[in-house]
């Protein structure tokens, strides 16, 4: 327990150093606004990937509707700031609550389904959310929601990303998290151990959806307009790819996956015709040589890093 | 020694298939009772119905006077029934220790859990040697021991064992059955489902013979083992 806390503190310290360096680079314009934007998108994608990983990787429930919850968070958020002139943080909380509530309501009936049935159901529900928004004139319909005040910046995204990682990491390491992993490993055995499988599946789904709402709210306030077209099932697939690429059941993996996928698209932006080819090739190669993802179930911890450095130093 | 578990005239269906047809049986406190029968007779179905993984359409199941038919499985565990599922179903990507900890999921008494963990390690020293190893990398026999140890971690008064001999070498089967006897002697009532009728009858007090969803014979295990009917059908002559 003590070790865990120490680990957390070191990681927090490291993250804040990274944050400070990046923030300085941004304010001194060493990093161009193009890269600042990409850092923001990486942060949002990390939140999306980690929250999806809680559902797909840790609890083993194959969800394909994550962009739908992101859309709920985004639209709730922009309505709060634009129509009701509420502070950004209130909008973020409202987005999380509404997306989480929807996750709960959707999860309760659909999580009885297994495997591909659940995937199809969540895919459909994600699309339903998008189509409902598209037909709501109140939020601009298919043309999108215009006139949003720009609130999202690197600091907001980074700090909220840290908060998300902290919450999900602690959830996964708690007895609730153990229950979720047990469900992934063997649902019948988990039930036989006295784990209320429905409760924990819905719990993971709700938390995952709530953080997708948070990410959506950050995403919504990053541009001056949002449209339902940003939340299609292709977006859900994209987040799933990040999770699978990084490793189902590894938080470090989801961070890496979100980073790699976003970085590749950013670097290849000038050559859009090659982008999808290289992207697809990278995925095929990964699945051939490392089907468990970049990290598998492994986590990178500060203690692990130190131990490794220390060992290396010892040998040389 | 009173009656611990009473099953009264249960009917269980898989969709349209009538798997259990009006089965009644009793398990008394302190006994080893075995349920034997051929493939597809419904042995595992009965166990899964007791533990709540399946719901009977009609009939009652009483455990220590409490009606448990239709209760969700995670609630039934709390009443003191624990199941070692068929095919072991251990949590492969978790360590031996984590598997055992999950066995105590319904309990909050940390000291009691610790003490029971020690008891499990005493009973299965090999699990202690492999405490940090991923459960999926254990041998078949070790996995069976882990599944049993995990079930004991909820401190059950009634232990349901579903085919503990499945896929194990004869020597290991003997070891497992000796352990089942030990568990019973230290005060846990056992309901054992087995295809290996010989082994099961050798350690059980009483037995029920199941044929296509119906109980056809029941009685003292030694007497059943000696009866011609059982010998011909299940003991190979």
Q: Does domain B3-88+155-234 have CATH number 3.40.50.300?
A: yes
Q: Confidence band (pLDDT; 50, 70, 90) for A136?
A: very high
What are the residues whose beta carbons fall under 8 Å from the beta carbon of B72, sequence distance 6 or more? A196, B52
Q: What is the DSSP string of B56-116?
A: -SEEEEEETTEE-TT--HHHHHHHTEEEE-TT----TTSBHHHHHHHHTTT---HHHHHHH
For B185, phi and psi rounded to 5 degrees? Answer: -65, -30
Average pLDDT over residues A27-49: 93
Q: Is B213 exposed, middle or buried (0-12, 13-18, 19+ CB in 10 A)?
A: buried
Over A77-110, what HEC string results? Answer: HHHHHHCCCCCHHHHHHHHHHHHHHHHHHHHHHH
Average pLDDT over residues A196-222: 97
Q: Give me the percent of chain A exceeding a pLDDT of 70.
A: 94
Q: Which residues pair with B207 in a beta bridge?
A: B34, B219
Instruction: Give the residue among A235, A249, A248, A242 at the shortest CA–CA distance from A279.
Output: A242
Check residue A315 and give its pLDDT. 44
Question: Min CA distance, A248 vs chain B (Å)?
Answer: 12
Inside any domain, residue A296: no
Which single residue is written with the structure tokens 């998300």? Answer: A164
Check residue A316 and give its pLDDT. 39
Give the lowest-confidence range in A171-180, A303-312, B155-164: A303-312
List the structure tokens of B101: 């900890």
Question: Min CA distance, A53 vs chain B (Å)?
Answer: 16
Contact between A74 and A226 under an 8 Å Cβ cutoff? The reply is yes
Please state the domain count of chain A: 1
Inside any domain, residue A256: no
For residue A32, give its domain range: 2-232
Domain residue spans of chain B:
3-88+155-234
Question: What's the mean per-residue pLDDT of chain A?
Answer: 90
Instruction: List chain B residues with CB under 8 Å of A193.
Output: 77, 102-103, 105-106, 150, 154
Q: Which pTM was predicted? A: 0.89
Question: Min CA distance, A183 vs chain B (Å)?
Answer: 9
Instruction: List chain A residues with CB under 8 Å of B94.
Output: 181-182, 185
Inside any domain, residue A243: no
Check residue A278 and give its pLDDT. 83
Average pLDDT over residues B149-163: 96
Q: Is B52 helix (H, G, I), strand (E, B) or coil?
A: coil
Exposure letters A127-147 (e unless 16+ CB within 10 A, then b):
bebbeebbeeeebbeeebbee
Contact between B46 and B210 under an 8 Å Cβ cutoff? The reply is yes
List the structure tokens of B87: 């095919």
Inside any domain, residue A262: no
Measure the CA–CA gap between B89 and B211, rounded to whole angstroms: 26
Instruction: List chain A residues with CB under 8 Å of B93.
Output: 181, 185, 249, 297
Q: Confidence band (pLDDT; 50, 70, 90) for A9?
A: confident
Measure the CA–CA gap between A122 and A103, rounded to whole angstroms: 10
Flag if B74 and A195 touch (Cβ within 8 Å): yes
Q: Confidence band (pLDDT; 50, 70, 90) for A306?
A: low
List the structure tokens of B25: 């049986």
């Amino acid at each position: 327990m003590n070790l865990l806390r120490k680990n957390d503190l070191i990681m927090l310290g490291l993250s804040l150093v990274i944050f400070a360096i990046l923030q300085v680079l941004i304010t001194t314009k060493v990093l161009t606004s193009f890269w600042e934007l990409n850092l923001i998108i990486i942060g949002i994608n990390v939140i999306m990937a980690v929250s999806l990983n809680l559902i797909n990787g840790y609890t083993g429930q194959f969800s394909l509707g994550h962009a739908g919850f992101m859309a709920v968070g985004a639209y709730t958020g922009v309505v709060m700031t634009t129509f009701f002139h509420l502070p950004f943080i209130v909008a973020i909380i409202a987005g999380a609550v509404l997306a989480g509530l929807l996750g709960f309501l959707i999860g309760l009936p659909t999580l009885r389904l297994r495997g591909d049935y659940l995937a199809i159901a969540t895919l459909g529900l994600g699309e339903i959310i998008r189509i409902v928004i598209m037909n709501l004139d109140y939020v601009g319909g298919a043309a999108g929601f215009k006139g949003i005040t720009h609130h999202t910046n690197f600091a907001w995204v980074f700090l909220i990303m840290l908060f998300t990682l902290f919450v999900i990491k602690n959830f996964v390491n708690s007895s609730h998290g153990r229950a979720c992993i047990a469900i992934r490993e063997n649902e019948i055995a988990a039930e036989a151990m006295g784990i209320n499988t429905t409760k924990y599946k819905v719990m993971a789904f709700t938390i995952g959806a709530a953080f997708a709402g948070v990410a959506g709210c950050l995403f919504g306030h990053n541009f001056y307009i949002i449209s339902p077209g940003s939340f299609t099932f292709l977006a859900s697939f994209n987040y799933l790819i990040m999770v699978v690429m990084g490793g189902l059941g590894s938080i470090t993996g989801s961070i890496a996956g979100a980073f790699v996928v976003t970085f590749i698209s950013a670097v290849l932006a000038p050559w859009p015709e090659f982008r999808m080819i290289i992207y697809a090739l990278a995925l095929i190669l990964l699945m051939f040589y490392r089907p468990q993802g970049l990290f598998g179930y492994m986590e990178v911890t500060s203690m692990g890093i130190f131990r490794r450095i220390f060992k290396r130093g010892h040998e040389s | 020694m009173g009656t611990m578990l009473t099953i009264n005239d249960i009917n269980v269906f898989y969709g349209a298939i009538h798997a259990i047809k009006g089965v009644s049986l009793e398990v008394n406190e302190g006994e080893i009772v075995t349920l034997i029968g051929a493939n597809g007779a419904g042995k595992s179905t009965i166990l899964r119905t007791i533990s709540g993984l399946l719901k009977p359409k009609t009939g009652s199941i009483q455990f220590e006077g409490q009606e448990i038919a239709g209760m969700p499985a995670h609630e039934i565990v709390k009443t003191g029934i624990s199941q070692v599922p068929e095919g072991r179903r251990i949590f492969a990507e978790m360590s031996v220790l984590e598997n055992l900890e999950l066995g105590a999921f319904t309990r909050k008494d940390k000291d009691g859990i610790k003490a029971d963990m020690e008891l499990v390690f005493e009973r299965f020293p090999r699990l202690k040697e492999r405490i940090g190893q991923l459960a999926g990398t254990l041998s078949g026999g070790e996995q069976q021991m882990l599944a049993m140890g995990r079930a004991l971690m909820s401190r059950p008064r009634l232990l349901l064992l579903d085919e503990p001999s499945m896929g194990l070498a004869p020597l290991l089967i003997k070891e497992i059955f000796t352990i089942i006897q030990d568990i019973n002697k230290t005060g846990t009532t056992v309901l054992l489902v087995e295809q290996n009728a010989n082994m099961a009858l050798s350690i059980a007090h009483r037995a029920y013979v199941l044929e296509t969803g119906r109980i056809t014979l029941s009685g003292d295990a030694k007497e059943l083992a000696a009866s011609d009917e059982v010998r011909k059908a299940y003991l190979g002559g």
